[in-house]
Chain A
């Protein structure tokens, strides 16, 4: 059944996949083979191939330069946007025009390609669960994501072999998950503070319709920032307390990606512990010393207070846009792992004047909501409808660099706007439209989404009447159509995304993902074969050393020939040859192994155990 649609929460820190269980009608998260629901959104580009999830997360500190985390913060962005943040990232971000590119594992990759690895892992997880292929998904994004960031997420899906049938805003998805059973009718505020992004959405829930009234947020504010301020504070503390060791070893921790990654991970772990404990001890082993100190919740709160305060502005603005006051809010829903921080809960409660909901696991609720939306699209639920809004105003640059707003923020989507354009020169065949997103008056202060070039037949200046329709679809993604009214001909439009991938690039990445994926499996198997060969070679060498005098010359020569053959095979790339040579060495040493075993049993080898010599075959 190819009509199955899964719900995916593609998070900054962790990602999940969920579906609606037909029997109970309830959404459920699909765990991995070990029962873990969360897939860390970490991708490592190792010489052995691409590694994703928990194994990649575990090597964050060991291979900082080739292990990508929090890539969501780079989606749909340019180098200029992220260069400040890039200083703190241990992997390399290449300077250049257009969208961000990373140099990892000897390759150049874009954020959508990295996200695609995560999506692919979730797709495979779902396929194992259902025992059939899965091709369609609903993927969530922060409500405050702009067009480029949404498009990048959709591209990631395509690269992963998933048809992203809908992009849903995370806070709205969360409200759907709650709405299934736990939410009564009324006005709901969803406060979503994740690993890298913050969103707030105000919704009215009535008659099964979830109508978003306003949304606001910050796509660069989340738990990662909490970790960073704590890590930087610890760095200063380490410098003050261990300057002797640092000077002695000439170590600059801030320039050591491995040390910084250790520090970040320790800071994150301490932050998590401080959500349930008042005080915790940090222990970080460095090369020449071990750093250890106690930290209290109050100390952490003092550090993150400005960040938590930054979330309150968007909350007030969303309320203002909805024409509401805090008193009008009936319920508050908390989403995202960072809402476990007690200070966050306190500030939210103070702002809205009531205690927030948090019955559903804040890590899972978005994925559960995505599954609900997927089920709606698949026709499984007909009494619920989500009416979302576009978070940012959409406009075009007009004379003088001023933005002419066509679709104001918080407009219910789908929505469209029409504008008439003409030419200024005789015989002009191209009209260039610069489309922007943002709330500022000047084009230079808004986000450039791209340029649209309308191609028309030559006519005297001012004669053509080109009707351009801007449609924001239910995904919050812009589509542009143009028609020259005199000839009633559709004008061709070439889209030049400012921070996106064009069709050809996406196509190439889809191909790449296959070639690399296959190469990865091949490489992995080759590596495994070599590892096994190494183990056998070590054991054979040791056995020869220990027991050469116990066998005859012919047998010794046979073993040595087999070992030499294996060494030769091992240096090649032929996996089958390595396998055969390994088996040959095993066979050639069989007799020697027995003899050694006997000798060991007879105590001829003293106190050493036979298995130590023979290895654990």
Chain B
């Protein structure tokens, strides 16, 4: 769509320039005089252009998209939403969650005591640092490796992507949970990381596709 090479490492200035050109070409603003049917088509195209740019401008979203594409190639209804994080990480996250649950019930009785608060805050900082590392690794070296890999190497990199994405999802969820309990400094810094690009794809709130069952109507 954007006429750029299909690579994970993207020239973002060039991508933005091409997005603006496409946005101009397909924006409903410039097709006001068209018949209703054509305007609806233009609106749909415009929505597609916007979605494509949203995916491509963000290095992590690019990886996620690639994983989805590749998974679709392997199986028809590939269940790529289920994260496969390393067991060690799962164990660790579980422990933090437990400590957090304890702290919460404590906090419900009275104020959170200072030492617990400090420990939790420290944990959050460490999780955030790891999250950042994971994102940097995904967007940087891993993405570059994919671009230069021979077809035979790709499945291994793809597996690494999946694991890194799952790890990231857990780190985000737990650090967001910590923030929720601790409150406070979320405003600028916290949000920039945890709420980036809006969609909080925490594994526990993710409903699967086709999983919404409409209630029977009487």
Contact = CB atoms under 8 A, between A and B. Distances in A.
B35 interface: no
A429 B217 CA distance: 8
A398 B217 contact: no
Given A396-B212, A412-B50, A421-B212, A405 B28 contact: no
Interface in B156-200: 187-192, 195-200
A454 B16 CA distance: 39
Given A412-B53, A416-B51, A398 B188 contact: no
Given A378-B32, A379-B33, A411-B50, A428 B214 contact: yes
Given A404-B207, A415-B47, A377 B214 contact: no
Interface string A291-318: 0000000000000000000000100110
Contact of B29 (A323, A420, A474): A474
Contacts of B210: 420-422, 465
A393 B214 contact: no
A3 B201 CA distance: 46
Top 8 nearest A-B pairs (CB, nearest first) are: A408-B198, A431-B214, A320-B191, A430-B217, A425-B216, A416-B47, A412-B50, A420-B210
B60 to A, nearest CB: 12
Contacts of B23: 209, 385, 387
Contact of A321 (B27, B43, B191, B209): B191
Given A387-B27, A474-B28, 8 more contacts: A209-B23, A377-B32, A398-B212, A416-B44, A422-B210, A422-B213, A432-B215, A473-B43
B123 interface: no
Nearest to A456: B214
Contact of A408 (B20, B197, B209): B197
A410 B198 contact: yes
B161 to A, nearest CB: 22
Interface centre among A313, A386, A405, A432 (most CB of B within 10 A): A405
B211 interface: yes
A283 to B, nearest CB: 43
A471 B217 contact: no
Interface residues of A, number: 58
8 contacts: A320-B195, A321-B195, A385-B20, A385-B30, A399-B211, A408-B199, A415-B50, A428-B216
Interface of A: 165-166, 206-207, 209, 211, 313, 316-317, 319-321, 323, 325, 376-379, 382, 385-387, 393, 396, 398-399, 402, 404-405, 408-416, 419-425, 428-433, 441, 453-454, 465, 471, 473-474
A405 B50 CA distance: 18
Contacts of B216: 423-425, 428, 430
Among B28, B46, B47, B197, max chain A CB count under 10 A is at B47
A405 B199 contact: yes
Sort chain B's interface into a size bin.
35 or more
Nearest to A325: B188
B132 interface: no
Given A321-B198, A378-B32, A402-B207, A428 B217 contact: yes
Interface of B: 16-17, 20, 23-24, 27-30, 32-33, 43-44, 46-48, 50-51, 53-54, 187-192, 195-200, 205, 207, 209-217
B94 to A, nearest CB: 21
A321 B192 CA distance: 6
A404 B50 contact: no
B20 A209 contact: yes
Contacts of B217: 428-432, 453
A432 B214 contact: yes
Contacts of A441: 205
B209 A420 contact: yes
Contacts of A206: 16, 20
B212 A323 contact: no
Contacts of B51: 415-416
Given A323-B192, A471-B43, A471-B44, A412 B54 contact: yes
A473 B51 CA distance: 13
Contact of A379 (B17, B32, B195, B215): B32
Contacts of B50: 387, 411-415
A454 B214 contact: yes
A378 B209 CA distance: 41
Given A398-B207, A473-B43, A385 B24 contact: yes
A486 B46 CA distance: 28
Contact of A399 (B28, B46, B190, B213): B213
Given A321-B198, A408-B199, A433 B27 contact: no
Contacts of A211: 20
Contact of B198 (A393, A416, A430): A393
Nearest to B198: A408
Contacts of A432: 214-215, 217
A409 B32 contact: no
Contacts of B43: 414, 471, 473-474
